[in-house]
Amino acid sequence: MHKIFTNSLFVGKKVIHLPKCHSTNSIAAGFVTSGQAYEGTVIITDHQTAGRGQRGSVWESEPGENLTFSVILNPIFLTPHQQFFLTIVSSLAVYNIVKKEVEDAKIKWPNDIYCGHKKIGGILIENSVKRNKIETSVVGIGLNVNQLNFSIDSATSLQIVTGRKFDKAGLLEGICYHLETAYLQLRAGNKEALRQLYLNNLLGINERRLFADDAGEFHGCIRGITALGQLVIQTELGERTYNMKEVQFLF
Ligand code: BTN
Question: What digits encode the pLDDT tens for the residues 204-235?
Answer: 999 999 999 999 999 999 999 999 999 999 99
Apex CA 12: angle with CA 90 and CA 23, to 5°?
A: 65
| Cα–Cα distance for residue pair 174/7, rounded to 1 Å | 9
- CA–centroid distance, 234 to ligand 1, in Å, is 31
Report whether residue 122 contacts ligand 1, using a CB cutoff of 6 Å: yes
Residue 5's pLDDT is: 74
Report whether residue 168 contacts ligand 1, using a CB cutoff of 6 Å: no
Question: What digits encode the pLDDT tens for the residues 113-155?
Answer: 999 999 999 999 999 999 999 999 999 999 999 999 999 999 9
The percent of residues in the chain predicted with pLDDT above 70, rounded, is: 98
What is the reported pTM? Answer: 0.97
Kindly state the average pLDDT of the residues 64-68: 98
DSSP summary character for residue 144 = -
Question: What digits encode the pLDDT tens for the residues 5-55?
Answer: 768 899 999 999 999 999 999 999 999 999 988 999 999 999 999 999 998
Residue 2's pLDDT is: 57
